[in-house]
Structure 1
Amino acid sequence: MKSYINSLIAVIPVENFDVASSWYASLFGRKPDLIPVAEVAEWQLAEGAWIQVSIDPERAGSGAVVVGVDDLEAQRGVCSESGIQLDETQEYPGVIRMAEVCDPDGNKISFVQDISGFDPAG
Structure 2
Amino acid sequence: MIFEITIQVRVANYPEGLEWYRTLMNREPDFIPHEGFAEWELIPGCWLQVAEGEPAPGSGPIRLGVQHIERERQRLAQHLKTESFTIHTRDEVPVKWGTFTDPWGNRIGLFEYMNKDEERERIRMIASK
Distance 1:61 1:5, change over 3 A: same
Instruction: Confirm whether residue 6 of structure 1 aligns to residue 3 of structure 2.
Output: yes
The match for 2:42 is 45
Counterpart secondary structure, 2:73 = helix
Q: Which amino acid aligns with 2:32?
A: I
53, 56, 76: which one aligns with 2:53: 56
SS in 1 for 2:2: coil
The CA deviation at 1:62 is 4.4
Distance in 2 separating the partners of 1:77 and 1:48 = 28
Shift of 1:60: 4.9
Change (3 A) 1:11 1:83: closer
Partner of 2:108: 109
Distance 1:84 1:28 in 2: 15
Aligned counterpart, 1:88: 86
**Aligned counterpart, 1:100:** 99
Quote the sequence identity (%).
26
Q: Take 1:60 and 1:17, find their aligned partners in 2: how far apart are those partners?
A: 15
Q: How many residues align?
A: 117
State the AA in 2 paired with 1:107.
N
With over 3 angstroms needed to count, the CA separation of the structure-2 counterparts of 1:54 and 1:83, relative to structure 1, is closer
The alignment yields a C-alpha RMSD, in angstroms, of 2.5
* 2-structure distance, mates of 1:20, 1:61: 17
Q: Normalization by structure 2: what TM-score?
A: 0.74
CA contact under 8 A between 1:43 and 1:50: conserved in structure 2?
A: yes
Question: Match of 1:114, as an amino acid?
Answer: Y
Question: What residue ranges of structure 1 are gaps of 5+ in the alignment?
Answer: none
TM-score, normalised to structure 1's length?
Answer: 0.77
Query: What SS does the corresponding residue of 2:9 show, helix, strand or coil?
Result: strand
| Higher normalized helix content (fraction of residues) | 2
Q: Structure 1 stretch 5-14 or stretch 66-75: which is displaced more?
A: 66-75
After the TM superposition, which segments of 4 or more aligned residues of structure 1 sit over 4 Å from their partners?
Answer: 116-121
Please give the alpha-carbon distance, in whole angstroms, between the structure 1 residues aligned to 2:114 and 2:92: 6
> Does structure 1 conserve the Cα–Cα contact (< 8 Å) formed by 2:20 and 2:80?
no
The alpha carbon displacement at 1:21 in A equals 0.9
2:19 aligned partner: 22
